[in-house]
Amino acid sequence: MAKKLVRFDWAIKRLLRNKANFDILEGFLSELLHEDFKIKQIIESEGNKETEDDKFNRVDILVENNKGELVIVEIQNTREADYFQRMLYGTAKVIVEHIAEGQPYSQVKKVYSVNIVYFDLGQGDDYVYHGTTTFIGIHSNHELELSEKQKELFKKTSVSDLYPEHYVIKTNRFNEVAKDTLDEWIYFLKTAEIKDEFTAKGLKAASQKLDILKLEPADRKEYDRYMEAQRSDASFVETVKLEITSAVKSREEEIAESALTEGASADFVVKITGLSIEEVRSIADRLGLNK
C-alpha cells in the first residue's frame, strides 16, 4: 500500500533545507549518482524563490558534498523549450561563482546538474538521461585521457570527471513500475507516494518526515495553497491546449469546406487537412455534396 506524502518539489523548497532532513536528499542523490552522498552544506541561490508569483519558475537547491563538489537540483513543472540552455547557464553560473579571482583553473569545482522535469523535454524514449563531456579523436576514435601527473593533481581518473555532469529525469515518461531503487525514487517524484516494500536510500526517512498529516499548521496551509496553484496551472495549460486544438480543427474544416465546394475528392481533402474520411464525409453531407 502506498503512503501519500508531501510533493518533492514543495519539500525541497521548505523542508529539505533543514539539516535534520538532509538524509532524504542524501538518499536520492546517493541512488542517482551511485555513491554514498553526504551533504556538507546547502548554498542559497538566486533561483530559490518563495513568493506566490513563482509558481511557473523552477525550484532549485544548491548543495556541497563532503568532497567539495556542487550539486544543483532543479525541478521544472511547466514546459520550457529552452530548458537545455537554462541547464547550461545554471551550471556555468555556479562554476564561475565558486572560484575566487586569481585561483588557478585546477580549483574549478566539479558540478552535477540534476533536473527533474514534469514535461517531455526533448525527444527520447527513456526517463533518465546522463550527460558527460568526453573528447574523441576524429581520426583514431580514441578517447583523450588524463596524464598520470594530471590524475595525481586533480585526484580524478578521466577527463569527463573534471567537467559538469547533467542528469535529466523525465517523470512523465516513467511507467510507475519500479525495477530498481532509483525507480523507487522516481515513483515518489511522480506520484508523491512511497510503497511499503520500497528500500531505496532516503525513502524511509521521506515516508516518516514528509507525511502530510504531520505538517505544522502553517506549513499545511502553505502546502495546500501551493497545490491549489499547481491545479490552477494545470487547468490553465489544459484550457490553452483545448483552445489551440479547437482553432486548428476549425481552420482544417474551413479548408475542407472550400476544397469540397471546388470539387475536390474526399480522399484529397483528407490528405491536405489531416481530417479523417468520416469527418470529411460529414462536412460534405452538411454542404449537401455527395462525395
In this prediction the pTM is 0.78
The sign of the torsion formed by the CA atoms of 114, 118, 123, 125 equals positive
What number is the average pLDDT over the span 18-26? Answer: 95
Q: What is the pLDDT of residues 148-207, one digit of tens each?
A: 999 999 999 999 999 999 999 999 999 999 999 999 999 999 999 999 999 999 999 999
C-alpha cell recorded at residue 226: 501551493
Q: What is the pLDDT of residues 41-65, one digit of tens each?
A: 998 654 444 554 444 445 689 999 9
The per-residue pLDDT for range 265-290, each reduced to its tens digit, is: 888 888 888 888 888 888 888 888 86
Tell me the pLDDT tens digit for each residue of 226-237.
888 877 766 666
Alpha carbon distance 166, 114 (integer Å): 6
At 59-116, the pLDDT tens digits run 689 999 999 999 999 999 888 889 999 999 999 999 999 998 889 998 999 999 999 9
Give the Cα-Cα-Cα angle 114, 116, 120 (nearest 5 degrees): 125
Q: Residue 234: what pLDDT? A: 65
Cell digits for 65?
Answer: 558534498
What pLDDT score does 258 carry?
Answer: 87
